[in-house]
Amino acid sequence: DADVTQTPRNRITKTGKRIMLECSQTKGHDRMYWYRQDPGLGLRLIYYSFDVKDINKGEISDGYSVSRQAQAKFSLSLESAIPNQTALYFCATGAPRAQFFGPGTRLTVL
């Protein structure tokens, strides 16, 4: 959905590097989410935010941190990337009953 954008779309990095994935939305939603997708595992929730001051851990938050800079922006950081964080990362916005997904960021950690 063009209303939810993610940058970069692809990234290759090395073990130990810090990396930030960014998500922006123009839909005016308060709620934003970060998921990771791994083959055969579906999507798993990393972090979610109900508004700028309300940020919560999801089921697999270890090794990740987030920042909600504004209603429209929600960034995911890997403080020290490791190979098992290689995955496809999706940002989503909106209430769970009507969620919109971004195009994804494919991250490879060597």
Partner 1 sequence: AQSVSQHNHHVILSEAASLELGCNYSYGGTVNLFWYVQYPGQHLQLLLKYFSGDPLVKGIKGFEAEFIKSKFSFNLRKPSVQWSDTAEYFCAVLRNSGYALNFGKGTSLLVTP
Q: Which residues bind partner 1 (CB under 8 A)?
A: 1, 33, 35, 40-45, 48, 50, 56, 58, 90, 96-97, 99, 101-104
State which residue, 48 or 74, has the beta carbon closest to partner 1: 48
**Radius of gyration (Cα) for the chain, nearest Å?**
13
State which residue, 70 or 98, has the beta carbon closest to partner 1: 98
Structure tokens given for 69: 């800079």
- In degrees and rounded to multiples of 5, residue 53 shows phi and psi of -105, 5
Structure tokens given for 38: 């791994």
CB of 43 to partner 1, least distance (A): 4
CA–CA distance, 77 with 8 (Å, rounded to integer): 13
CB of 80 to partner 1, least distance (A): 26
State which residue, 82 or 95, has the beta carbon closest to partner 1: 95
Structure tokens given for 73: 């922006």
CB of 13 to partner 1, least distance (A): 21
Task: Please name every residue paired with 51 in a beta bridge, in sequence order, or none if there are none.
Answer: 54
